[in-house]
């Protein structure tokens, strides 16, 4: 039985086809990572938005804002993907988990279509990335790793708030299913 998610923001059927089939994995992964972010965000309540585990930590609200703002910067400035909205239009007016989740979906879906239309030469072009030069394809993967970092950060916040942590890559302490086979033993790791 396949992994089961309570909510999928961007189902596989909604992911456009890349011009080069060898690049399809980027679109599939970006859509999947967006769905994972949204599934974590939807677990928070409006009352949780100012939560942070310590004075030196970032609040739930600020992490959600950062996700929308920094993702736009990656796509507009670093990757140079045309069609990104103005920064003032990124953060939803209502500062709730549901509003942020909806906004993330709204921003990500058109990016998928714009990325799908790009050819190999465009993806391999070198661009400025902070103080170094990197290919667009590298910058996109860096973006997805950055997103995973903040999603994990908020998953820890959920646990600290004693809330359910959704499944992102497999079963969690809160979500499992028949046939789930997490690798928790030397025997499981040794399977071929």
Q: In this predicted model, what pLDDT tens digit does every residue of 99-122 receive, in sequence order?
A: 999 999 999 999 999 999 999 999
pLDDT given for residue 4 in this prediction: 62
Mean model confidence pLDDT for the chain: 93
pLDDT given for residue 182 in this prediction: 81
Could you tell me the two tokens for 2? 């396949």
pLDDT category, 47, cuts 50, 70, 90? Answer: very high
The secondary structure element, H or E, covering residue 134 is: strand 132-135
> Going from the N-terminus, what domains does the chain have, and what CATH number goes with each?
12-189 (1.20.120.450)
Contacts of 6-13 spanning 24+ positions with Cβ under 8 A: 6/39, 6/166, 6/175, 7/35, 7/38, 7/39, 7/42, 8/35, 8/39, 9/34, 9/35, 9/38, 9/39, 9/101, 9/104, 9/105, 9/108, 10/34, 10/35, 10/105, 10/108, 10/109, 10/112
For the entire predicted model, the pTM comes to 0.91
pLDDT category, 1, cuts 50, 70, 90? Answer: very low
> Partners of 134 in the beta sheet?
127
pLDDT given for residue 2 in this prediction: 55
């Amino acid at each position: 039985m396949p992994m089961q998610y309570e909510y999928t923001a961007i189902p596989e059927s909604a992911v456009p086809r890349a011009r080069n089939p060898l690049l399809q994995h980027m679109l599939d992964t970006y859509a999947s990572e967006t769905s994972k972010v949204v599934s974590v965000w939807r677990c928070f309540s409006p009352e949780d938005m100012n939560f942070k585990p310590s004075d030196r930590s970032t609040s739930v609200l600020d992490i959600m804002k950062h996700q929308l703002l920094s993702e736009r910067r990656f796509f507009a400035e670093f990757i140079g993907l045309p069609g990104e909205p103005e920064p003032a239009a990124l953060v939803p007016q209502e500062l709730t988990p549901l509003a942020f989740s909806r906004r993330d979906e709204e921003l990500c879906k058109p990016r998928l279509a714009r990325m799908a239309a790009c050819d190999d030469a465009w993806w391999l072009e070198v661009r400025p990335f902070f103080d170094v030069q990197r290919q667009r394809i590298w910058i996109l993967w860096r973006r997805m790793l950055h997103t995973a970092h903040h999603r994990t950060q908020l998953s820890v916040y959920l646990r600290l708030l004693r809330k359910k942590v959704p499944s992102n890559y497999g079963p969690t302490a809160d979500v499992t299913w028949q046939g789930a086979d997490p690798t928790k033993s030397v025997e499981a790791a040794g399977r071929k």
